[in-house]
């Protein structure tokens, strides 16, 4: 059995090595430009902070260094995603038909675009609205916001990556439909369960307020509907071109 798996493990190691190497190279580049990258990450928070407290603090001695590393790795991961998607497709390509193997460029493009849409939606809409609501709520209680850069970066990267991955739902549905694991009937039959899972996922991945949860759950419900349409189209193409 091991001999049968050996070629797949070798191929997996090759694809992982290329992906990790790309992330490492991008990390070095991003660390060089960490200051402007961090300014971009801080912008949504700075915008909603009150005028008397437009600063972000550090508490631990090593916090600034660790934050720079986290920010650089986060940016490196984002910039490396097209290569990671490409390597993923190359790994599963041997199990696909010849006409499906040619879908590598659409797959990588669509996956990268959907991740970018998710991160942009989070950056320009979710994060500003969520922080404005949470900070203003504290101000009404006469609390002065003292925000540390480490805590903010941890929160920001977690939420942005969550939105980016969540927006991959149509891509995942297309892939699973292509290999025959799901069809449109399956997605329709499990619609209610999917909605429940979406809201539970949104509750775990967003700040503890109902606004942020709905800002994630709403688009995901719409993407689930889009996934059904994509799977239907994939199914009809298979029946037309068996």
Characterize 201-237 residue by residue with b for buried, 16 or more Cβ atoms within 10 angstroms of its Cβ, and e for exposed.
bbeebbbeeeebbebbbebbbebbeebbebbbebbee
Q: Choose among 155, 141, 138, 137: nearest CA to 45.
A: 155
Q: What is the pLDDT of residue 163?
A: 92
pLDDT tier for residue 242 given thresholds of 50, 70 and 90: low
Q: What is the pLDDT of residue 117?
A: 94
Q: Lowest-confidence range among 52-66, 69-83, 91-105?
A: 91-105
Mean pLDDT for 55-77 is 91
- Could you tell me where the DSSP H helices lie in 93-209? 98-101, 104-121, 127-140, 149-166, 169-178, 184-189, 191-205
Q: How far apart are the first and last CA of the chain?
A: 32
Tokens 């190691």 appear where?
13
Q: pTM to 2 decimals?
A: 0.86
Q: What is the pLDDT of residue 59?
A: 87
For residues 88 and 107, give the distance between their C-alpha atoms in angstroms, rounded to a whole number.
Answer: 10
Mean pLDDT for 181-192 is 86
Q: Choose among 77, 45, 236: nearest CA to 149.
A: 45
Residue 215 has pLDDT above 90, yes or no: no
CA distances from 228 to 189, 221, 240 (A): 11, 11, 18
For residues 218 and 202, give the distance between their C-alpha atoms in angstroms, rounded to a whole number.
Answer: 10
For residues 95 and 97, give the distance between their C-alpha atoms in angstroms, rounded to a whole number.
Answer: 7
């Amino acid at each position: 059995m091991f001999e049968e798996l050996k070629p797949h493990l070798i191929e997996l190691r090759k694809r992982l090595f290329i992906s990790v190497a790309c992330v490492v190279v991008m990390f070095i580049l991003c660390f060089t430009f960490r200051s402007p990258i961090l300014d971009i990450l801080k912008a949504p928070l700075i915008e909603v902070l009150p005028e008397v407290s437009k600063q972000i603090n550090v508490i631990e001695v090593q916090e600034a260094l660790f934050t720079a590393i986290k920010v650089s790795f986060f940016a490196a991961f984002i910039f490396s995603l097209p290569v990671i998607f490409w390597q993923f497709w190359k790994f599963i390509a041997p199990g696909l038909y010849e006409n499906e193997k040619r879908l590598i460029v659409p797959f990588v493009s669509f996956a990268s675009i959907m991740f970018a849409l998710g991160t942009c939606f989070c950056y320009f809409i979710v994060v500003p609205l969520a922080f404005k609501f949470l900070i203003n709520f504290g101000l009404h209680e006469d609390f002065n916001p003292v925000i540390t850069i480490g805590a903010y970066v941890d929160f920001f990267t977690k939420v942005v990556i969550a939105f980016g991955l969540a927006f991959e739902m149509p891509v995942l549905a297309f892939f699973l439909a292509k290999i025959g694991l799901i069809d449109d009937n399956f997605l329709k039959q499990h619609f209610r369960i999917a909605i429940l899972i979406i809201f539970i996922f949104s509750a775990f991945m967003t700040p503890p307020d109902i606004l942020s949860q709905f800002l994630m759950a709403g688009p995901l419900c719409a993407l689930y509907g889009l996934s059904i349409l994509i799977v239907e189209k994939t199914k009809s193409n298979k029946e037309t071109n068996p």
